[in-house]
């Protein structure tokens, strides 16, 4: 599996986890559940996927910010 394939799969998983987290958060607020564990775990998964996504693309992020700073 190539790196670009991993990026695409990771982006799809990240979008799905954001949708699940939002849906579970809505259910939590509608049912007034204080400690709704599935919402908490899906949020942890979303944060982990986002961290991995940024880690894999840190070179692109670094080049972007470096170009922005040089233009000023």
Sign of CA dihedral 31, 49, 51, 15: negative
What is the pLDDT at residue 72? 67
**pLDDT tens by residue, 8-21:** 999 999 999 999 99
What are 25-57's pLDDT values in tens digits?
A: 999 999 988 888 898 999 999 999 999 999 999
Q: What is the pTM of this model?
A: 0.78
Is the predicted pLDDT of residue 69 greater than 70, yes or no? Answer: yes
């Amino acid at each position: 599996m190539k790196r670009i394939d991993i990026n695409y799969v990771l982006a799809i998983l990240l979008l799905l986890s954001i949708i699940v987290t939002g849906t579970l958060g809505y259910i939590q607020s509608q049912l007034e559940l204080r400690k709704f564990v599935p919402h908490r775990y899906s949020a942890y998964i979303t944060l982990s996927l986002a961290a991995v996504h940024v880690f894999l693309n840190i070179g692109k992020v670094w080049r972007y910010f470096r170009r922005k700073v040089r233009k000023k």
